[in-house]
Each structure stands twice: as C-alpha cells, then as structure tokens.
Amino acid sequence: MLTRIDHVGIACADLAASIEFYRRTYGFEVAHEEVNEEQGVREAMLRVNGTDDGGATYLQLLEPTRDDSPVAKFLARHGEGVHHIAFGTADVAGAAAGIGGAGVRVLDSAPRRGSMDSRIVFLHPKDCGGVLTELVQAADQGRHHGEG
C-alpha cells in the first residue's frame, strides 16, 4: 500500500541558506520550489533518488512564512531539524482509510494539496511513535489511477 519513502521534511530558518548547504555539501539540486499558504511554508524539493515504484525520494526543506504556522512552532520548540517523514502511495484516500481504521488518528478528514500538486494527509505523531507521518499520492499517480 505504501510503496516508497517519498520525502523527509526538514524545518529550516532560512530556505536559501539550507538549499545552498545541501547543494554545496552533497550536490543535491532543487527540483521544485513553491509556497504553500495553507500550511504557511515556503519549500524546496531536492530529488535524491528514483524509487522502484516509479516515483522518487526527496528532501523537502521547509521555511515558515508566518509565526503561527506549524513549522514556525516546531522551530520555536525544537530548532532546525527533521520535521516529518512521508510515505508514497498510489491511493492516499484508501491508505488513510485503512490506517485510520487501524486506530491511528488521521489529521485530515480528506486529502489536501501537498508539494507538486500531490494529495496528502498527516497522521498524529502520538499514534506513530513520535514521528509526524505524512501519506502522499504524487500528482501523476492520481492520473495513472484515475483519481487525479
């Protein structure tokens, strides 16, 4: 059902500086940048590798755009670091229903828009061993499966 690690989300105070760190230190390049006003983040996706389900794994660098956003609150409490991990699936609504039925709180009643027009839900970290966990269906997976 979950077929890849889609991305690791990393909270940072200065997106441009973080992009430059990952480029200079490891050679990772920005595949995509966007602002998600709903989530209050400016973000960059750095593609690390392709995956055997036809997708890819990214680092997602997240800078808050406002002080009341979840990432701003995370930075204030924890400082910079890993914010969440995301598993890829071809059917985010089905995966969320199955996982919710197994007793894990799904934080979104319906999938919402994530990076690169993906559809995402978040799971409650207290039900996931302290790990804020996201499920993500890539935009092109929606088309392949007739759900996009």
Q: Where along the sequence are the contacts to a second copy (CB under 8 A)?
A: 1-5, 8, 10-12, 18, 21, 24-28, 48-53, 57, 59, 78-82, 85, 87, 99, 102, 104, 125, 128-131
137 catalytic, yes or no?
Answer: no
Catalytic entry in 39, 63, 84, 137: 84
147 catalytic, yes or no?
Answer: no
Q: Which is nearer to a second copy, 37 or 95 (CB)?
A: 95
7 catalytic, yes or no?
Answer: yes
Provide the 3-class DSSP secondary structure of residue 73. helix
Q: How many CA atoms lie within 13 A of 69 on its CB side?
A: 20
Shortest Cβ 120–a second copy spacing (Å): 16
Per-residue burial over 64-75, b if 16 or more Cβ lie within 10 Å, else e, is bbeeebbbbebb
Provide the phi-psi class of 54: left if phi over 0, else alpha when psi is between -120 and 50, else beta: left
Q: What are phi and psi of 88, to 5 degrees?
A: -90, 145
Q: Which is nearer to a second copy, 37 or 97 (CB)?
A: 97
Q: Which is nearer to a second copy, 24 or 109 (CB)?
A: 24
- What letter does residue 124 receive in the DSSP assignment? -
Shortest Cβ 8–a second copy spacing (Å): 6
Give CA–CA dist 83/70, Å, rounded: 10
Catalytic entry in 7, 39, 83, 141: 7
Q: Which is nearer to a second copy, 25 or 109 (CB)?
A: 25
32 catalytic, yes or no?
Answer: no
83 catalytic, yes or no?
Answer: no
Is residue 97 within 8 A of residue 123, CB to CB? The reply is: no
Give the catalytic positions in this structure.
7, 43, 60, 84, 134
